[in-house]
């Protein structure tokens, strides 16, 4: 049964809300956004640190920009090369990085991934609630939404759970538990959209049905437990590739397919 029909009739579903990850899911921000901004901050501080695309791929094992810099010093630097004031330097560097990153976003250099805007708009039209659960700094979320969907889009999301608002970052479930609590919804009334192994560990820890869209940094990750793994959300005429998941002949991710995948998952 192909569900790609323009079906605005309400469908009997337990599903009430879509919870989106940001980096790697809404937009491919890591390689050309965050990594570039980190390097600009290191240069601004006159440091000889430089993160190549490959090195950054290794550093993505750790979520959180501050935590990632700390991890870099521990994994890639000799003790004598670690600045003595590293514990005060990292928060400063991170602020500079956030400034460079939001400037980069304001140039429009980092668009949304295919299908994201269409799915968000369709979900709103169909009356689904929207939320964001991300490790990145709140200003980065505001800047990304403002420079892609427009400033009004900030209000489309019932909750924007981001950054240091929870004690433990992904892969801990904290940020998703927080979003569920703020929306006063149970996990089986929601579905999550993620891109990485840290992300799916976080969503599964919060008992959330999860749809994965991979990217260059995460295509080799283990997504056991996902209800579907796609190469992208796709568009009418620009099909996705489904790596796993019962997609019933669909060629792009729309609300009907999301509802179906959720239904399959919560009844399994």
Q: Is 24 in the site for ligand XBP (CB under 6 A)?
A: yes
Q: How far is the CB of 2 from ligand XBP (least distance, A)?
A: 32
**Side-chain half-sphere CA neighbours of 265 within 13 A:** 27
Cis peptide before 171 (omega within 30 of 0): yes
Site for ligand XBP in 194-253 (CB under 6 A): 199
Position among 15, 64, 119, 261 found at the interface with ligand XBP (CB under 6 A): 64
Position among 15, 19, 27, 34 found at the interface with ligand XBP (CB under 6 A): 34
Position among 27, 39, 102, 140 found at the interface with ligand XBP (CB under 6 A): 140
Q: For residues 95 and 263, which CB has a smaller minimum distance to ligand XBP in the complex?
A: 95
Pick the stretch among 8-16, 60-68, 181-189, 208-216 that binds ligand XBP (CB under 6 A).
Answer: 60-68
Position among 136, 210, 213, 250 found at the interface with ligand XBP (CB under 6 A): 136
Using DSSP's 3-state secondary structure scheme, residue 5 falls into coil
Instruction: Please classify residue 32 by burial: count the beta carbons closer than 10 Å to its beta carbon, then call 0-12 exposed, 13-18 middle and 19+ buried.
Output: middle
How many residues sit in the footprint of Mg ion (CB under 5 A)? 6
Positions marked catalytic: 21, 23
Are 176 and 208 in contact by the 8 Å Cβ rule? The answer is yes
Site for Mg ion in 175-214 (CB under 5 A): 195-196, 199
**What's the token pair of residue 130?**
């929207």
Q: Residue 212 and residue 236: Cα distance in Å, rounded?
A: 19
Residue with the shortest CB distance to ligand XBP: 65
- Give Cα separations from 42 to 60, 72, 240 (angstroms): 18, 13, 37
Q: Is 171 in the site for Mg ion (CB under 5 A)?
A: no
Cα end-to-end distance, the chain, whole Å: 20
Of 44, 85, 90, 49, the residue nearest 68 (C-alpha): 90
- Give Cα separations from 99 to 4, 37, 94, 143, 230 (angstroms): 41, 8, 9, 10, 32
Q: For residues 102 and 250, which CB has a smaller minimum distance to ligand XBP in the complex?
A: 102
Q: How far is the CB of 72 from ligand XBP (least distance, A)?
A: 12
Q: How far is the CB of 35 from ligand XBP (least distance, A)?
A: 9
Q: Residue 19 and residue 188: Cα distance in Å, rounded?
A: 12
Q: How far is the CB of 219 from ligand XBP (least distance, A)?
A: 15
Applying CB under 5 A, which residues contact Mg ion? 21, 23-24, 195-196, 199
List residues near ligand XBP by CB under 6 A: 21-24, 30, 34, 63-65, 134-137, 140, 170, 199
């Amino acid at each position: 049964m192909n569900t790609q029909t323009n079906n605005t009739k309400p469908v009997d579903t337990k599903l009430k809300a879509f919870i989106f990850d940001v980096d790697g899911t809404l937009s491919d921000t890591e390689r050309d956004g965050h990594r570039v901004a980190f390097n600009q901050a290191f240069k601004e501080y006159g440091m000889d640190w430089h993160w190549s695309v490959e090195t950054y791929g290794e550093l993505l094992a750790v979520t959180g920009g501050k935590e990632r810099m700390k991890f870099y010093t521990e994994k890639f630097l000799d003790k004598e090369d670690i600045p003595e004031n590293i514990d005060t330097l990292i928060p400063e560097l991170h602020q500079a990085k956030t400034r460079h990153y939001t400037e980069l976003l304001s140039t429009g250099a980092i668009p949304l991934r295919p299908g994201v805007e269409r799915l968000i708009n369709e979900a709103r039209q169909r009356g689904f609630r929207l939320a964001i659960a991300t490790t990145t700094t709140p200003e980065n979320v505001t800047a990304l939404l403002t420079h892609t969907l427009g400033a009004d889009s900030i209000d489309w999301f019932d909750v924007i759970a981001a950054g240091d608002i929870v004690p433990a970052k992904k892969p801990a479930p904290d940020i998703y538990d927080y979003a569920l609590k703020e929306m006063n919804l149970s996990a089986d009334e929601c579905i999550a959209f993620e891109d990485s192994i840290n992300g799916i560990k976080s969503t599964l820890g919060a008992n959330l049905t999860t749809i994965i869209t991979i990217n260059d940094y995460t295509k080799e990750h283990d997504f056991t437990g996902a209800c579907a793994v796609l190469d992208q959300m796709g568009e009418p005429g620009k099909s996705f590739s489904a790596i796993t998941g019962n997609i019933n002949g669909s060629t792009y991710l729309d609300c009907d397919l999301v509802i179906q995948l959720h239904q399959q998952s919560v009844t399994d």
